[in-house]
Every structure is written in C-alpha cells, then in structure tokens.
Amino acid sequence: MRLTVYLAGEIHSSWREEIKKKSLALDLPVDFVGPMEDHDRSDNIGEEILGEQPSAIFKDAAASSFNNLRTSVLMEKSDLVIALFGEQYKQWNTAMDASAALASHKPLIVIRPEKLHHPLKELSQKANATVETCDQAIKALSYIFE
C-alpha cells in the first residue's frame, strides 16, 4: 500500500524537507504533495494566467483562485493531511487547509508546539492525532504501515 500525504503549513522553513527525508530514511511508501512552495509564483500565478490585474486586491483574488484550485485537487487526491503550525508565521492557510481536510473526512495529523496548545485546542480535538514535532508525526505515519 502506498499513501499520498498533503503537507499543509507555512512555506518559509524546511520542515517539509525534514518530513520527506525522515520518511525516505524509514523507507515509508509515501508520496508527498502540498501547496506551492515558491512564494513569488504563488503570489503571481493569477496574473501569469489572467494577465495584469487592476489592483493588489484583484491580484490577490486571482492568485487565490488558482492556489485554491491546486490545493483542492491535491488534497482530494491525498490519503492523509499533516498540518504544521509553527511559532513564527501567521497560520491562516494552515488552519484553512486543516479545516478543509476535516470537512473532507481526510485523516489529519496536527503538528504544533506546546505553546500553541490553547489556541489550537478545538482543532486538535477534531484531528486524528496531535503531536509537537516532525519526528512524532513521522512516527505516527510509520505506525500506519506496521
């Protein structure tokens, strides 16, 4: 059995590479997908497809349409979602993706530091598992294959 895992969360750090590398080291039969990690491409995709927009608001709306399309397709094709909530960045997109996973009845692992326990308590209660580190998420993922 092979699983596709959607990695939801901020795109500014290397946490996805850490998850992928550790999964590979354990020889887990997993393929990873996720949001566009090239921030400039993500911000500009609307204008790349539709042409220049009349304002920053329209530019954001156009980009959001195509980013939401991409996320919807990749999440729908996924068997599981891992959502990382870090301490450094605003986590609106992560919260949206985690909520979409729950609404789609996708199994969800939430990674969040203990410091974020309180603001994420309701989400953690709905997730299938909540962990504090990428290592713990990999252990949870690995357990599926035992």
Please report the pLDDT score of residue 91 as a whole number. Answer: 81
Q: 3-35+76-144 has which CATH code?
A: 3.40.50.450
**Sequence-separated (6 or more) residues with CB below 8 Å from residue 106:** 6, 75, 78, 79, 80, 81
Asked whether the CA dihedral 76, 111, 146, 27 is positive or negative, the reply is positive
pLDDT digit string (tens) for 43-60? 999 999 999 999 999 999
Q: What is the pLDDT of residues 107-133, one digit of tens each?
A: 999 999 999 999 999 999 999 999 999
Structural domain boundaries in the chain:
3-35+76-144
